[in-house]
Each structure stands twice: as structure tokens, then as C-alpha cells.
Amino acid sequence: MYDLAIIGGGPAASAAAVYAARKLLKTLLITDTFGGQSVVSADIENWIGTQKISGEELAKNLEAHVRAYAGTVVDIMKGEKVKSISSEDGHFHLMTEKGKSLPAKTVLVASGGNRKKLEVPGAKEFDNKGVTYCASCDGPLFSDQDVVVVGGGNAGFETAAQLLAYCKSVTLLQRGQAFAADPTTVEKVLAHPNMRGVLNAETLEVIGEKFVTGLRYKNSMTGEEHALSISGVFVEIGMVASTQFVDGLVDMDQYKRIIVDARAQRTSMDGIWAAGDCTNGLYHQNNIAAGDAVKALEDIYIYLKTR
């Protein structure tokens, strides 16, 4: 019986595993891969304490840090995914996709998620060649350039606001008839002289040669097509949380993100915590995921020792 099972191998799960090891909790970390979503980034420039690191290097560092404790108090199961979790007699059973059943007194879900991809011609071809899914990571690369943000919700407007600090112009394309972000944010961001918001704009194609040079969209009301000369496309059309395996066990919001108590990362189910991008936390970044997981670990430790 493990004291704690951690699900995931991104910054949240890795931070949790290091803290669990140092607190001598008998821990199992189950993950498909190490590193998490930013593994595809060429340069991460905001991982605190490290000026610049590639996503791949960050993944190696996270895995090495966790492995430093392997075999003592932490067991690592890599290349495995949790399929479901059941609760029984005050503890949990994790079922893996390869058919293992693993018992644990507590669970930390740190299974993150994936950004919804833009599904139009050119979007895949120019991924990381002008098409990007993270403004705080890649925004500065587009200094003094014209860019597009696809998506008119809060994430789209926050992305636009960040980009206005460096870019020559930002055009935000929203598919629907109204912007979905908070009205005050919409008003503030659209008031910037270098900002333009377009409604009923259906993205048709990302154009480029080696890198992005343009984007085509259609006005879905009039059918009129438009072409923009831009060098960056920032996609903010939502995230899909990897939480299917706890569906029905813990409360989730409408986007299937686990609802947590922000003070200690507790979920609605006693004995289960969640941290990072799989939660309904407002902001999602590597440092936040790691910090939230550490917060959860402090709480899990107290929970286990005072039961």
C-alpha cells in the first residue's frame, strides 16, 4: 500500500514526487512521459532559476530530479497510464491501461492536459514555425511584427494583451458573434491603438513558406474571404484536460477540469488532491503547476500524519 500515488510526469507531478520523497512518504509516480506540455518548446525562458532551457532539457531535468529518489521511497512507473480509480475501505485502487491494480492511501492527480489544436490547413505544418500555443513563452520572438490571435475568450484576450507589449499589431479572430471574454477585459484590450478584434471570423488557412507569412479567414455571416499578412498565429481555442479517469469520482467544471480548493488543492473527494493544468485554477504555467503541487504535498503530508 502506497502512502501516495502521483499521476503525471510534468512539472506538477515531478515537484510533488520530490517533496514526497523528502518527506519519506512511500510514493508511486505513474506517468506516460516526463516533461509535460512544454516539452515541445525550443526555449523556455521563465522557469525560475534557469534563464533559458529547451522543453526537452527541462523534461530530462525533471525526470533526473525524481529519479534521484527512486528505489528509496519513490517507485516510478513510466510508459503507463492510469485508466480508472476506485475508492474502497478508505483507500484507492488505481487501474492502469496495462491492467495493473495499485493501492494507495492518497492520490494526487497531476495529469495536465493538451491545448486544443487549430484544425485548418497549414496549422500543423507551421506548428512552432509561427503557429504557437503559448504567448508568455513565444511572444517576445514576435517583437515588432504583426500577429493574429485565434480565439476570443479570456485566454485569447489575455494573450492579445501580452502580445501588445511587443508586437506591431495584434488581430484577434473570434468565430462567434460576440467575444466570450469578460466585457471589461474586451473593452480594455480593444482600446489599444495596435489592437483589432474581428467577429464572425472563421480561420480557413495558415499560409507560409519556411515560416508563417499569412492567414486566411472568412466572415461567416457574409461569406467574404480576407487575407492577413502576419508572421505569428497564437492559438487560444481552449484546453482539453486529461481527467477522464476520475470522471464521476471528483467534481469537475464544464470543461472537465477538476475543481480544487485553492488553499490546499483538495478535490471534492476526501483523499484526492489535484494540481496543475488538470485543475480549474485560473492560470496555467510550469511554475504554477509545480507550486500548486508542492502546496498539495504539504497538505497530503499533514493529512496522512493526522489520520
Ligand X SMILES: Cc1cc2nc3c(=O)[nH]c(=O)nc-3n(C[C@H](O)[C@H](O)[C@H](O)COP(=O)(O)OP(=O)(O)OC[C@H]3O[C@@H](n4cnc5c(N)ncnc54)[C@H](O)[C@@H]3O)c2cc1C
Binding site for ligand X (CB under 6 A): 7-13, 30-33, 36-38, 40-41, 44, 46, 81-82, 110-113, 115, 133-134, 137, 242, 245, 276-277, 284-287, 289
DSSP-derived 3-state class of residue 138: helix
The four Cα atoms 238, 255, 298, 136 give a dihedral, to 10 degrees, of 10
Q: For residue 14, report the phi and psi dihedrals to the nearest 5 degrees.
A: -65, -45
In terms of CB distance, is 42 or 227 closer to ligand X? 42
DSSP states along 205-238: EEEESSSEEEEEEEETTT--EEEEE-SEEEE-S-
DSSP-derived 3-state class of residue 187: helix
In terms of CB distance, is 245 or 273 closer to ligand X? 245
Rounded least distance, CB 297 to ligand X, Å: 13
Rounded least distance, CB 289 to ligand X, Å: 3
In terms of CB distance, is 129 or 218 closer to ligand X? 129
Rounded least distance, CB 115 to ligand X, Å: 5
Give which of 3, 5, 4, 7 is closest to 243, Cα–Cα. Answer: 7
In terms of CB distance, is 117 or 226 closer to ligand X? 117
Rounded least distance, CB 241 to ligand X, Å: 9
In terms of CB distance, is 110 or 252 closer to ligand X? 110
How far is it, in rounded angstroms, from Cα 64 to Cα 137? 23
In terms of CB distance, is 108 or 195 closer to ligand X? 108
Alpha helices of the chain — where are they, by DSSP H?
11-22, 55-67, 135-138, 154-163, 183-190, 286-305
Nine-digit cell at 47?
A: 522557469
The identity of residue 110, as a single letter, is: A
How far is it, in rounded angstroms, from Cα 60 to Cα 36? 11
Rounded least distance, CB 142 to ligand X, Å: 14
Rounded least distance, CB 253 to ligand X, Å: 16
